[in-house]
Structure 1
């Protein structure tokens, strides 16, 4: 995932979301990523099934792409993407953010193995 500290602090432009409906036994996921400075990829579906989809969107600038990702994040979670992850508040009826651990960047791995 692509990162730019000018606008969103320490966040990578990457978010995995889930929503569980205990009554129906359904678990949905939604994944957002900014893969290049101008490409937003969304993947969604139901956990444990082949149902789902993918959408790839190209933007003219990284600002437009980042704002689009942030808008979808807010629509799905009710939270702001730019807020610290520790401030994320799960809201009824919205998706929840999955905590993820990120290892060293790929460039760091390549240089350390030489």
Structure 2
């Protein structure tokens, strides 16, 4: 069966997006925005390995285990994209990202995803 090109494009797009609540690997990083009032969307989330960026989106860290939440390098790791986290990404206005675990330190390539715009 031969499918029209438009149907193939839709199928490819559907395969590239995450289903609601899917587990994902991501890094977070500072986006340079500075505010005088809260909420201040000063972080971006970048999915690993796709590189898809959720601009001005900060992950919810309330789901992290106590050991991960108490890490001394958590704040810097989230600021500079030095930590790879796993969690759920729910696309759809608004995008919600719930971190469930700090998986590991980011590789140089993963940290560099933060510098790409």
Give the TM-score normalised by structure 1.
0.25
> Higher relative contact order by CA 8 Å / sep ≥ 6: 1 or 2?
2
